[in-house]
Amino acid sequence: MSYYVRRMQLEDVRQVADIDREAFPTMMPSANFQRELQNRLAYYIVVCDTDKTLPAPEVKPAPATGLQKVDSKVMRFFNHDRFFAAESAPNGREYVVGFVGMWMLVDEAHITNIAVRESYKRRGIGELLMISGIELASEVKAHLITLEVRVSNTIAQNLYLKYGFTKVGLRRGYYSDNFEDGALMSTPDLASPQFQAQLQQLREQHFKKWGISSYKASRPPALKTPAMRN
């Protein structure tokens, strides 16, 4: 399969919300991702499967009124697609398989959530999101990244430890569904030569194993221009 990483768009909100509910079914309600896109402090990245697309929504034409019939004749003369065909893609049909979100607080990036579709786990997507989140945090000039993780979630903790996070605190009863404690973890200075060297090595290892480019290097596939109607 082929994947690429990009910033989250409005068309992705429904899919991201579905992934969030699947990954965290006991943490309800889900975040309002549409509002998050309007939040100047929030940054979101998604991973898309380029081999899969969402089905086109069924659009039922409304009965034409007399004025609409006249407008239709005018539009046949001035065909919008002849001039704006390239802008009509991709129509929000890209299939999102995972996402990571963070808030930028002064010079600190705080990861709020990271999740992957259940059917796409164990394919390197979670680690790809971690690399991409670090890259984005560096891009927006964060000096470090923090996050909370359940004390029982050793799999996630091991991933964070791999990418330079260390445990710096404990939030008692942090999770509202069962009042489980949350371990507070933080990276060292993102700009330090040691951290950047480790990140580069891990990035290269991940690409060699999975063949997926992270956010910094990823580019969306070329869009196919729809055929123009006459």
Catalytic residue set: 148, 160
- Residues belonging to the chain: 230
- Give the burial class of 5: count Cβ atoms within 10 A of its Cβ; 0-12 exposed, 13-18 middle, 19 or more buried: buried
Contact by Cβ (8 Å): 150, 182: yes
Q: What is the layout of strands, in order, in the sheet containing 94-105?
A: 3-7, 42-53, 94-105, 108-116, 144-150, 182-186, 166-171
CA dist 35 and 212 (Å) reads 30
Contact by Cβ (8 Å): 145, 133: yes
Q: How many CB atoms lie within 10 A of CB 122?
A: 7
The H-assigned helical ranges of 7-140 are: 13-23, 33-38, 66-77, 80-84, 125-139
Amino acid residing at 72:
S
SS3 173: coil
CA dist 216 and 213 (Å) reads 8
